[in-house]
Amino acid sequence: QASVTLIDGKACAERVLAEVAESVKHLAAEGTIPGLAVVLIGEDPASHVYVRNKIRKAEAVGIHSFEHRFDTTLSQAELLSLIDTLNKDPEVNGILVQLPLPDTIDEEAVIQAIDPLKDVDGFHHANVGGLVQGRDVLTPCTPSGCLRLLQETCGDLTGKHAVIVGRSNIVGKPMASLLLHAHCSVTLLHSRSVNPKAIARQADIVVAAVGRPKMIDASWLKPGAVVIDVGINRVEQAVDGENKGERKTRLVGDVDFASASQVAKAITPVPGGVGPMTIAYLMQNTVAATKRQHRQAGQP
């Protein structure tokens, strides 16, 4: 097997962000600065890291960010009232509510309250339905980023057999729609699939979005397959040397990178693969949302 190509998500994300920054410049010249409102509730450490990174990237490409942080005493009615205010605020073009929300709040009710034109996560029913029908709507950031990585790696995807492991609403299902519109033959695998490995071994493209560390190894892959690893799993790592016995964690994907690299033609690393693309496409969606809102308002 020839040596495997590492799909560099960081470098690709930088290219996407450069395109976004260029669009922001054009919009600014017309007198508009795109605005992204980020709502964060509670103290979940991972959510805090994600929100910080999103805000940092927004500023870096010239998008205004509006941060709304609350503790878990915020009621659902108060959150819905904030969403209503943001929906009406002309300076806010994108609204992102960082998930998961506390148990006291109905996530679905909050997502559906967001104006679909400002729904930069692409989770509103109007956008989900639009994506399935192949209309030009805001699409979820992670699968959009995966599609871009695949297009840059493989070129035209027409006729390729893509197997997606995982059928969640935020990754697996929208990924299937995007690849279908790119003319792939698409198979979705999930926890009830029978003999999933044999099915995955027929794939030209494997997208892993399972949430199980290193589940997909070489035995799942056809030689020469292109592998996109969406998984972000925090696992404990043994510490050697002076600090032996300490507890340390590190991030691993859903793919066993060392094993899969022996068989795959190209593969994303974790970290540095899909993660940076997700944030880049959040920025891209914010700009797309801004342009669409202007079109609807009859502005250039």
- Token readout for 199 is 């099915």
- The one catalytic residue in 57, 118, 119, 121 is 121
- Token readout for 145 is 């980023």
- Contact partners, residue 152, CB within 8 Å, separation at least 6: 7, 12
Minimum CB–partner distance for residue 255 and ligand NDP (Å): 11
196 binds ligand NDP (CB under 6 A): yes
Interface residue with ligand NDP among 47, 53, 168, 185 (CB under 6 A) is 168
Q: How far apart are CA 250 and CA 94, in angstroms?
A: 32
How many helices and strands, by DSSP H and E, does the chain display? 10, 11
Contact 118, 92 (CB under 8 A): yes
Longest dimension (CA), the chain: 66
Alpha helices of the chain — where are they, by DSSP H? 9-29, 45-61, 76-88, 107-113, 125-132, 141-154, 172-181, 196-200, 257-260, 274-296
Interface residue with ligand NDP among 83, 110, 171, 280 (CB under 6 A) is 171
Residues 128-147 close enough to bind ligand NDP by CB under 6 A: 142
Is 98 annotated in the active site? yes
Of 20-28, 58-66, 109-117, 205-213, the window that binds ligand NDP (rule: CB under 6 A) is: 205-213
Residues 241-280 close enough to bind ligand NDP by CB under 6 A: 254, 274-275, 278
Residue 250 marked in a binding site: no
Of 32-40, 79-87, 102-110, 231-239, the window that binds ligand NDP (rule: CB under 6 A) is: 231-239
Residues tagged in the binding site annotation for NADP(+): 166-168, 232
For binding to ligand NDP (CB under 6 A), which residues are involved? 142, 165-168, 170-172, 189-193, 196, 209-212, 230-233, 254, 274-275, 278
